[in-house]
Structure 1
Amino acid sequence: MEQNLEGRPGRNVTLAVLGLGAMTIMANATIASSLPELKRHFADVAGIETLAAMIVTLPSLAIVLSAGLMGWLTDRWDRQKLLVLTTGLFLIGGTSGLWAESLTGILAGRLALGLGVAGTMTLGMTWASDLWQGAERARFLGLQGAAISVAGIVFMLFGGLLASLHWRGAFAVYALILPVAALALMALAPYARRLQAERTAPAKGGTERFPWAAFAFIGTLAFLFQAAFYLTPTRLPFHLEALGTTSPLIISALLAAQVMVSAPVSLKYGQIRQRLSAMTIFGLSFGLIGAGFLIHALADDWRGVLAGAVIVGFGLGISMPNYMNWFMARVPVSMRGRASGLLTMAFFLGQFASPLVSAPLVAWFSLAGAFAAVGGALVVLGLGLWVRHLIHAEPELAEAAPRPAE
């Protein structure tokens, strides 16, 4: 064992947990650059405009339906067995676009991918909560956010490069789950055995209650954040096409630009959190993303979209670590798996709902108008959260005690 649960985890453990987190960004956005060609390939399928967007977000439906169960299993079942199961689903479902001949087959594969992502994301979030606490957790979550951003750049550019050769090519990127899962299985094995032994020990007195009120608040914010943000992979490629940019590789580069900006911002999250309250960070994040969307709406060519993507990247970088850091400080140790699953559910419910919500906005206002409407709403929400903090500042909570050492 590299360290006990109270010590600082070693390099392999850190890389394993970072890797599990980084894989989640592959769930949807990796194949965004394939959408225009996929749409043309299945042009004779009724409703292909909406179905093409659903290819990106359908994994979110499976995640929404299964994340609660995955959280329950994470708290009660062997985490290594759960990782093997979810890795298999991730691999088979993710690569379905390489071998499925029909759109129905690809859609079924995307559902299987969603089940796999629900498990790997919940496991990654729970391990991060178990192995790091307090200020160390804030720093690790910032590092994890940066890792996700870097992975997003690599996955989207690699996917765009493969999609420029053939629209099916981007689906091959999902095979990267194999080395990540192998590392996690080896590095986390001592911790998993220790955890399993603790679960079989006699229970101590006292009851713990799940913080449902806290989840109602943070879950709503997470839903709104993802429902708005996922206009980027589901609508921005088509907006770029309307502006005259059709190359899958260029589209991928523009989508990756916001992730490239978010990486160094996420690395600074621990320091930012020491200076700003969680609510201020939420408000600032929504405001920045909204401002970026407004710039998208006003853009005349890809340069304007790039400027908007940079602003969105700043908001994205400070946002993702903040959700988990705020929520896990309010969750009992024995319920972190459930909390991770529910937060995962809220995130992906927003992703799944995004094309359904944006479709009428596009029909009413055009693609540019949809970005303008959502961007304006996000700016208002960000201001509202900031005002809420000014009126009702929340006290900092003490971190829940870690599991006892052997």
Structure 2
Amino acid sequence: MKKLSAVGSFTLLAIACLTIMVGCVIVPGLPSIAARLGVPDAASWLVTLPSLGVVLLGPLAARLIARAGLYRALLVGLFSYGLLGLAGSFLHGPGLVFTDRFLLGGATALVMAAGTGLLSSFFSGGQRLKMIALQGMSIELGGVLFLFVGGLLATLGWRWPFALYLFAWLFIAMLLLFVPQPPQEETINEAGKNSVPARSLRPVFVAALSSMVCFFTAVIVLPLHLHAQGFSEAETGYFLSFVSLVAVGAAWIMPRGVKRLGEYGTLYSAFAAYAIAHLLFATANSTLQLIAGAILMGCGFGLSVPLVNHMVVEHSPVNVRGKNLAGLSMAIFSGQFLSSFLALIPGSFSRIFTGAALIAVTAIFLLWVWQKRQKKIRVFS
């Protein structure tokens, strides 16, 4: 297997940051940005509409990956990501703005699926699990960095956060310079390893969708909740950056959790953390309680998202890995998109947080049922 240099690994890990950046860079300044773009009553859609783009354009992304290969598809995705991301700051009105955000989702699907597939093609076994964990850490470090910088840029002017999308073009140069194309023959020879029927990935997709519903409900609602409590836009950015920082640590210990608890046990822990975090947000009457919720929220993300990425990669033959990763992208961003509907629950913010906690508990139950079924199948097979 062809080796990837340290700089090449860093490049692919940095590219992974773009998946969370797509919505998060504008979150700290969301109210003012929405007003400037002419969509003041649909601010949450600016964050979640790219998710719909991933879901609906994901199959096209999978076809492009199959035809052009991981490397070329990633180049196309990065160029489109930078162009569409920056263009959003020069548009006005629901039609143009929402179309741009929707197409940006399609570019994100390409970046996410092709980037993860390319990274996994250079590693196997335990090393692959380690790299997927590092990818999860880099995603959250990107969240820390971009939320923090996005908050600072929002204080300079509402257009400035959009400039962060141009990092995608910097990553194009790094990709061409430091990441070789994986040999086609090695990709073919690895096909069939650790493969399982496609239906066995359904619980993984459900876990991914549920995780993102829980996480992005907090991302959408917390800025409004904190603003109502007197937090500034910069302080909101700091708070959300703290959540991402905790997720980095959780992603770091995720491989150890898998060794001790197994894949499903680790997912149970992640959703238990989500449930408690949302209940803390629902009843928060102090900053300390908010911080406790932030810690558990970060643990939920860091333990679940890198793990579902690893599970799809490990259980997919290479010849359909791009397709399955595109399916995972669709599941993850479906969760982001659905979170916008959860945020529409009438009443106080407490009801929304309680609803997200119920989703986390439901996810634990569904995963437990699937795990029991899989054990029965193994016993009788």
Tell whether the structures are fold-level matches, with TM greater than 0.5. yes
Residues 391/121 of structure 1: CA separation in 2 closer, same or farther (3 Å cut): closer
Partner of 2:326: 341
Q: Report the count of equivalent residues.
A: 377
Residue 236 of structure 1: how far off its partner (Å): 1.2
Residue 373 of structure 1: how far off its partner (Å): 2.5
Partner of 1:289: 274
Q: Kindly provide the CA deviation profile for residues 322-343 of structure 1, in whole angstroms up to 9, marking residues without a partner as x.
A: 1022222221121111111111
Determine which of 55, 59, 76 is the counterpart of 1:68: 59
Alpha-carbon separation, structure 2, partners of 1:186 and 1:130: 18
Partner of 2:310: 325
Structure 1 portions without partners, runs of 5+? 397-406
Residue 105 of structure 1: how far off its partner (Å): 2.9
Determine which of 45, 50, 68 is the counterpart of 1:59: 50
SS in 2 for 1:131: coil
Determine which of 331, 350, 354 is the counterpart of 1:368: 350
Residue 13 of structure 1: how far off its partner (Å): 2.3
Alpha-carbon separation, structure 2, partners of 1:284 and 1:383: 12
Name the stretch that deviates more: 162-171 or 381-390: 381-390
Partner of 2:32: 37
* Aligned residues of 2:190 and 2:317 also touching (Cα < 8 A): no
Partner of 1:269: 254
SS in 2 for 1:27: helix
Residue 176 of structure 1: how far off its partner (Å): 1.0
State the structure with more CA Rg.
1
Residues 367/9 of structure 1: CA separation in 2 closer, same or farther (3 Å cut): same
Residue 115 of structure 1: how far off its partner (Å): 1.7
SS in 2 for 1:276: helix
- TM-score (normalizing by structure 2): 0.90
Partner of 1:217: 203
Determine which of 4, 7, 30 is the counterpart of 1:9: 4
Residue 321 of structure 1: how far off its partner (Å): 1.4
Partner of 1:234: 220
Q: What letter is aligned with 2:21?
A: M
Structure 2 portions without partners, runs of 5+? none
* Aligned residues of 1:292 and 1:307 also touching (Cα < 8 A): yes
* Aligned residues of 1:34 and 1:168 also touching (Cα < 8 A): no
Partner of 2:238: 253
Q: Kindly provide the CA deviation profile for residues 133-160 of structure 1, in whole angstroms up to 9, marking residues without a partner as x.
A: 1111111111111111111100000001
SS in 1 for 2:25: helix
* Aligned residues of 1:92 and 1:109 also touching (Cα < 8 A): no
SS in 2 for 1:72: helix
Residue 204 of structure 1: how far off its partner (Å): 12
Q: What letter is aligned with 1:126?
A: G
SS in 1 for 2:28: helix
* Aligned residues of 1:261 and 1:314 also touching (Cα < 8 A): yes
* Aligned residues of 2:53 and 2:105 also touching (Cα < 8 A): yes
Q: What letter is aligned with 2:105?
A: G
Tell me, yes or no, if structure 1 residue 382 matches structure 2 residue 364.
Answer: yes
Alpha-carbon separation, structure 2, partners of 1:198 and 1:218: 26
* Aligned residues of 2:190 and 2:318 also touching (Cα < 8 A): no
Q: What letter is aligned with 1:233?
A: V
Residue 118 of structure 1: how far off its partner (Å): 1.0
Determine which of 104, 113, 123 is the counterpart of 1:122: 113
Residues 299/220 of structure 1: CA separation in 2 closer, same or farther (3 Å cut): same
* Aligned residues of 2:210 and 2:363 also touching (Cα < 8 A): no
RMSD (CA atoms): 2.8
Q: Kindly provide the CA deviation profile for residues 64-87 of structure 1, in whole angstroms up to 9, marking residues without a partner as x.
A: 112222223223314343233222
Q: What letter is aligned with 2:200?
A: A
* Aligned residues of 2:277 and 2:297 also touching (Cα < 8 A): yes
Alpha-carbon separation, structure 2, partners of 1:35 and 1:70: 28
Percent same amino acid at aligned positions?
26
Alpha-carbon separation, structure 1, partners of 2:324 and 2:44: 29
Residues 288/209 of structure 1: CA separation in 2 closer, same or farther (3 Å cut): closer
